[in-house]
C-alpha cells in the first residue's frame, strides 16, 4: 500500500510525498509561521482596521499568501472589517470569490455576447443549409 505519491511542491518546486498537505513540509512550516505573524499582527487592537497591504508590509508575508489565508477562512474578514484581497480582474478589494461584482458582470456580458454570436452563426449556417437543400431539390426536378 502506498502512503502517497511523489509530487512537486507548488510553492518551492521540491519533490515531496503528497499526503494530507498539498505543499512540502518545509513550506508548510513556513506558511504556519507566516500565518502566526499575520494572526499576531491582527490580534492587536490598533491593527483591527488594517488592510491587506498594511498586514503584508508589517509582516513581510506576500499579498498572495494572505489572500489564501482569507479564502481559507483562517483570517476572518468579519473581525477585520478592512481586510479583503484584490480582485483577479482589476485589483479592487473583495472579500469573497475571485472577482469583484463589476468584473463578474463584465464576464457575464462577454459570455452573453459569445452566446449571441454563436446563435447568429448557427442560424446563418441553418439558412445556408436550407437554401442549399432548396437548390438541390430544384435541381432534381429539372
Binding site for Zn ion (CB under 5 A): 9, 11-12, 24, 27, 87, 89-90, 92, 100, 103
How far apart are alpha carbons 122 and 134 in whole angstroms?
18
How far apart are alpha carbons 142 and 133 in whole angstroms?
15
C-alpha cell at 14: 521540491
Q: Any idea what DSSP says for residue 46?
A: G
- Shortest Å, Cβ 117 to Zn ion: 24
42/100 with CB nearer Zn ion: 100
- Shortest Å, Cβ 68 to Zn ion: 14
30/47 with CB nearer Zn ion: 30
- Shortest Å, Cβ 88 to Zn ion: 7
User: 3-class DSSP state for residue 4?
Assistant: coil
23/50 with CB nearer Zn ion: 23
Amino acid at each position: 500500500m502506498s502512503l502517497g505519491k511523489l509530487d512537486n511542491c507548488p510553492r518551492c518546486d521540491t519533490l515531496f510525498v503528497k499526503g494530507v498537505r498539498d505543499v512540502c513540509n518545509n513550506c508548510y512550516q513556513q506558511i504556519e509561521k507566516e500565518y502566526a505573524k499575520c494572526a499576531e499582527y491582527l490580534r492587536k487592537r490598533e491593527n483591527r482596521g488594517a488592510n491587506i497591504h498594511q498586514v503584508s508590509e508589517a509582516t513581510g508575508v506576500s499579498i498572495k499568501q494572505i489572500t489564501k489565508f482569507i479564502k481559507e477562512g483562517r483570517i476572518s474578514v468579519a473581525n477585520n472589517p478592512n481586510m479583503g484581497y484584490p480582485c483577479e480582474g482589476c485589483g479592487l478589494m473583495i472579500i469573497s470569490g475571485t472577482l469583484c461584482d463589476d468584473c463578474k458582470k463584465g464576464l457575464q456580458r462577454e459570455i452573453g455576447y459569445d452566446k449571441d454570436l454563436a446563435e447568429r452563426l448557427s442560424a446563418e449556417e441553418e439558412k445556408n443549409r436550407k437554401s442549399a437543400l432548396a437548390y438541390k431539390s430544384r435541381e432534381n426536378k429539372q
